[in-house]
């Protein structure tokens, strides 16, 4: 799959998910072409809520082959946002349906997921099982051309892991 096909599939996915309601768009704000408030530019994950019928409408929302542009509110302050498709690695609806492009997930996020998995395995081995957590949102992994048998990227040294929140 070439890069243009991968980008178009993200656009098609966004269009389809928006038809169901608001979408939580997961992106790497550090990538070239992304325009968001400065305070978010150093972190590997930013989640934006995009919707067609939000309480505060987004009248200039534009979704095209290049990405998404809109004026969004951050701490009640409007900011012109530009998100190229290359920066997007996940989309989830409020109902928990979504997509994850594994080849585009920042290495820091992969590292944090590995660490959480190791800690969970250690807890299970020690018999310290916590009450079951609610089911995570349903995600379908898209590799963007990466063979699923290929190993994930090696952990990134020297960078503290980001903090992730599950938004339901």
Per-residue confidence (pLDDT) for residue 129, from 0 to 100? 56
Structure confidence by residue, pLDDT tens digits, 3-47: 555 555 899 999 999 999 999 999 999 999 999 999 999 999 999
Query: Domains in the chain, ordered, with CATH?
Result: 3-142 (2.30.30.220)
Question: Could you give the CA distance from residue 138 to residue 155 in angstroms, rounded to a whole number?
Answer: 25
CA dihedral 80, 83, 84, 90 (to 10 degrees): -170
Q: Taking the alpha carbons of 86, 87, 91, 94 in that order, is the dihedral positive or negative?
A: negative
Q: Is 31 exposed, middle or buried (0-12, 13-18, 19+ CB in 10 A)?
A: middle
* H or E stretch covering 100: strand 97-101
**What are the pLDDT digits (tens) for 107-166?**
998 888 788 888 888 877 776 555 555 544 444 444 444 444 444 444 445 544 444 444
> What is the pTM for the complete model shown?
0.68
Give, rounded to a whole angstrom, the gap between the first and last alpha carbons of the chain: 32
């Amino acid at each position: 799959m070439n890069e243009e096909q991968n980008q178009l599939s993200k656009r098609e996915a966004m269009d389809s998910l928006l038809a169901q309601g608001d979408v939580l768009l997961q992106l790497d704000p550090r990538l070239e072409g992304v325009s968001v408030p400065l305070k978010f530019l150093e972190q590997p994950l930013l989640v934006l809520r995009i919707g067609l019928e939000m309480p505060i409408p987004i009248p200039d929302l534009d979704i095209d082959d290049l990405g998404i542009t809109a004026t969004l509110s951050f701490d009640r302050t409007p900011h012109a946002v530009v998100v190229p498709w290359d920066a997007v690695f996940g989309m989830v609806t409020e109902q928990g349906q979504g997509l994850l492009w594994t080849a585009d997930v920042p290495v820091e996020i992969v590292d944090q997921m590995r660490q959480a998995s190791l800690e969970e395995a250690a807890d299970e081995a020690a018999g310290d099982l916590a009450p079951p957590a609610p089911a995570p949102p349903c995600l379908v992994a898209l590799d963007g051309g990466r063979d699923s048998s290929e190993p994930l990227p090696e952990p990134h040294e020297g960078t503290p892991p980001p903090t992730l929140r599950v938004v339901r």
